[in-house]
Amino acid sequence: MITIGAVGYLNALPLVHTLDRRPGIRLVRKVPAALLTDLEAARLDIALCPVIDAQTSSQNLVIVPSGAIGSRSTTLTVRIFSNKPLDRIERLHVDGDSHTSVALAQVIFHHRFGRLLEISPLKDPAALDGPTDLEAALLIGDKVVTAEPDPSRFPHQLDLGEAWRDLVGLPFVFATWLAPSAADLGDLPRLLTEIRRENCAHMEDLVGPWADAHNWPKETALTYLRDLLDYEIGPTQLVAMQLFWKECAEFGLIDRLKKVEILGG
């Protein structure tokens, strides 16, 4: 039995739909930030982890190039919401579901405004719906669409995927398949690639049931998967990933820049 970890968001659906129907496979869904812990503890054999985890892990992990969650530009679901102009933000309350997006926010703000932000946890995203003294928050995942903060209260927004594209002219990779370097995955990389290609060819079939069950507008969900996101992990995506890691090391967001191997590379 191979145990696979993935996020439970809409953005992962093209990578994992029907995966748990295959014999010998167990699929576990968790928030992005929890997957690395289970991978390092050998509770998972492979996981769709935030890309920064490849640098911060205490173990040597390899990229399994069978798919990724990336954005061509606008993400729709990785956004900063602020009640003041972006250049006046000092403290950013961050969604604890993510590692990569927090580091990306720091990279973007350092380039745009010449400084890093003070980071605090956002314990309850629903707190943004009521009276709050939070000046700015980073939210990720489906809730950014299904429970978007009131724009009249948080009129200043920044989509981090779009900001990255504006900064470096490249797509951004938020998560990819990672596995311990010594893992024996057998035929799994080929199967993951096969499932991704099959699902990406039938996006409309995936969207309907998910939208109905999770309060997504169907057309928005289809545009999100088909037009905004990118599931390839080719040369361009690898270059973008390496550049992001380099930026994180330069600004002290990771301890050191590690060489990360690609399975079969």
CB 138 within 8 A of CB 117: no
pLDDT at 131: 58
Q: What's the pLDDT score for residue 89?
A: 94
Statement to judge: residues 84 and 135 lie in one domain: yes
What the block records as the tokens of 20 is 């748990």
Mean pLDDT value of segment 225-231: 96
pLDDT at 41: 94
Q: Which position has the higher pLDDT, 124 or 36?
A: 36
Same domain, 163 and 176: no
Q: Is 236 found in the same domain as 196? A: yes
Residue 256 lies in a domain: no
Residue 151 and residue 100 share a domain:
yes
85 and 124 fall within a common domain: yes
Do 191 and 130 share a structural domain?
no
Q: Which CATH number characterizes residue 141's domain?
A: 3.40.190.10
Question: What pLDDT does residue 264 have?
Answer: 80
Maximal CA-CA distance, the chain: 53
For residue 179, give its domain range. Answer: 2-72+172-250
pLDDT digits (tens, 9 = 90+) for 125-179: 776 766 567 889 999 988 899 888 888 889 999 999 999 999 999 999 999 999 9
Helix (H) or strand (E) run with residue 14 in it: helix 13-16
Q: Are 89 and 145 in contact (CB under 8 A)?
A: no
What is the rounded average pLDDT of the residues 92-103? 87
**pLDDT, tens digit, for every residue of 184-213?**
999 999 999 999 999 999 999 989 998 888
For residues 183 and 115, state if they share a domain: no
Domain assignment present for residue 141? The answer is yes
Based on the domain organization, do 149 and 211 belong to the same domain?
no
**Domain match, 164 and 179 both:** no
Tell me the C-alpha to C-alpha distance, in Å, between residue 76 and each of 14, 62, 141. Answer: 17, 28, 9
Sole residue written with tokens 């590379």:
265
Residue whose tokens read 């903060």: 149
Q: Are residues 131 and 90 located together in one domain of the fold?
A: yes
> What total number of domains does the chain contain?
2
